[in-house]
Structure 1
Amino acid sequence: MTSHPFAKSIRSTPEGLLWEPCGRWVRGYKGAVAVVDSRRPVLVWEPGVPVPCYAFPREEVRTDLLRPAKNPRTGAHTGSQTFYDLEADGELVENAAWTFPAEDLAGHIAFEWFRHRYSGLDHWYEEEEEIFVHPRDPHKRVDALAGSRHVVVEIAGTVVADTRRPVLLFETSLPTRYYIPREDIRLDLFTPTDHHTGCPYKGTAEYWSWRGDEDVPRNILWSYPDPLAAVTPVKGLLAFYNEAVDITVDGEREERPVTPFTASLRT
């Protein structure tokens, strides 16, 4: 049995995979074609990958649209897989799907999600809600709570934000993010960029970069102008990467955390 800290229902395989049955009705489309229509999906966590993927019973996949991959990927997923090209809606997508070698997952097919480097299907739905970026992890929480802490943010010794009305966003396995009203931030010190990111828990974010000469990562400041319902309190507020700025909360300077974002901020 797995030692996963959140649920005894998660099983492990000799290959190092973790997997769990999921009761959600999941559908995936390429254009107008329903390639996946599953009421018995399983969530799969690969070693070293922080987010899960779905694998579906073969009988709930349009396998008539799959062909053995002409140029199968190597080292992309755990174990020795079989990769498939997808031909649907007049388009050929290479390596859109694969199978895991684990005996527990025999008879299941997994798909790349459309915002991965190697894209798969165009749209995914859990029940009637469209899901973006990657499947939501049922063992992950995201809570946005209004607060009254005194939060001060500095960059290279310059105070760029000072508020006593932050919204604190608590997300499993990540540091607390402090979302700050615009009027409490020196936005004149930042320039909006064309960078955007998507999050299945929060929505689509827009970004700003520091205008100073100091060595500060780009897109250090972000906001969700139209967040998903679960985090409505952060709408229009802005947050900084704790990994790259100095944040003082109620007079106590916080250490800069090391997270999965740390390396990407450096580059």
Structure 2
Amino acid sequence: MSDLAELASKLFHANKESQVKIAGTEKRVRGILNGKYIFDTTAAKLVWENGFYPNYWIPRSDFLDTASFAQDKPVSGIDSSTSTLTVDNKSVPSLIVPDSFNTELAGYVKIDFKALDAWYEEQSEVVFHPKDPWHRVDVLPSGRHVKVEIDGVVVADTGSEGGVLSLWETRFPARWYLPRTAIKWEYLTPSDTHTGCPYKGQASYYNAVINGKEIKDVAWWYPNPIQESASIIGALCFYPTKVNTFVDGKAIEK
């Protein structure tokens, strides 16, 4: 069974009694495949398939003529709901929920987020995955004194200069972003690792070398954060599980 068919089975067969979180949005949502817009809708659904973040499901009726489905109107059964969406010479798998299904997703199409060239909310590109409308990030200037140690070696210390930014994100503990002037750069080397967050942007990383031992990806930073988190540009945040962090002299939990 394909990944999309397995997802459909999970949502509409095995878990008929479960409460999968679904929310509508009036935002204009568009998608591009093979350089062409394939849908344009203000009736998309946000579906929390994995419980952590939502994915977009798009009304079949809002797909444009640029896109064609190998199985346009599946009649019954999960397997016949899977289809191939094609734009010119490029195809991606998709899932069409039959109209006969007793679910508010009947008539909706699921496409893997990474399968498209780009997704847009209004005129803003959606990066990494759609945002949760009940998830927020607050970045606040802080007067806290933050010191970071690895095996007893101080690798960052804001001292009396301050410049700390505290980042408060739904379901996460506070993160402390430190100015680059507080970093002991002799201990850090650039990492090749990059990760993404739709609320902050793409992160780059640093490794640390302490007493001849390398600790991978010990700190991250955002070279070009998105607008809502713009103030953390350039600041470093250390993984609390890989270092000892002291805020106003008190060790924070790992």
**2:170 alignment partner in structure 1:** 172
- 1:3-152 matches, cutoff 5 A: 14-46=17-49, 48-62=50-64, 64-68=67-71, 82-93=81-92, 95=93, 97-99=94-96, 103-114=103-114, 120-152=115-147
Please tell me the residue identity of whatever aligns with 1:158.
V
Q: Which runs of 5+ in 2 are unaligned?
A: 1-14, 72-77
**1:9 alignment partner in structure 2:** none
Q: List, as ranges, runs of 4+ consecutive aligned residues in structure 1 with deviation greater than 6 Å.
A: none
Contact 2:187 2:208 in 1 (8 A): yes
Residue 162 (1) aligns with residue 157 (2): yes
Please tell me the residue identity of whatever aligns with 1:110.
K
Quote the offset at 1:209 in angstroms: 1.0
Contact 2:221 2:234 in 1 (8 A): yes
Q: Which runs of 5+ in 1 are unaligned?
A: 1-11, 69-79, 115-119, 257-267
Contact 1:33 1:89 in 2 (8 A): no
Identity %: 36
Distance in 2 (alpha carbons) for counterparts of 1:108 and 1:166: 46
Distance in 1 (alpha carbons) for counterparts of 2:102 and 2:207: 45
Q: 1:15 to 1:106 in 2, by over 3 A?
A: farther
SS in 2 for 1:167: strand
**1:6 alignment partner in structure 2:** none
What is the TM-score with the length of structure 2 in the denominator? 0.81
Distance in 2 (alpha carbons) for counterparts of 1:138 and 1:177: 21
Distance in 2 (alpha carbons) for counterparts of 1:89 and 1:132: 25
Of 131-140 and 179-188, the range deviating more from structure 2: 179-188
Please tell me the residue identity of whatever aligns with 1:83.
T
Q: 1:252 to 1:99 in 2, by over 3 A?
A: farther
Quote the offset at 1:62 in angstroms: 4.2
Distance in 1 (alpha carbons) for counterparts of 2:246 and 2:124: 38
Question: How many residues end up aligned between the 2 structures?
Answer: 226
Q: 1:22 to 1:13 in 2, by over 3 A?
A: farther
What is the TM-score with the length of structure 1 in the denominator? 0.78
**1:244 alignment partner in structure 2:** 242
Of 230-239 and 55-64, the range deviating more from structure 2: 55-64
Alignment deviations for residues 201-225 of structure 1 (CA, whole Å, 9 cap, x no partner): 1111111112234473x22211111
Quote the offset at 1:29 in angstroms: 0.3
User: Aligned-pair RMSD on alpha carbons?
Assistant: 2.2
Please tell me the residue identity of whatever aligns with 1:182.
R
Contact 1:142 1:172 in 2 (8 A): yes
SS in 1 for 2:134: coil
Contact 2:29 2:41 in 1 (8 A): yes
Quote the offset at 1:200 in angstroms: 1.1
Distance in 1 (alpha carbons) for counterparts of 2:88 and 2:102: 31
Q: 1:129 to 1:190 in 2, by over 3 A?
A: same
Of 247-256 and 80-89, the range deviating more from structure 2: 80-89
Q: 1:49 to 1:166 in 2, by over 3 A?
A: same
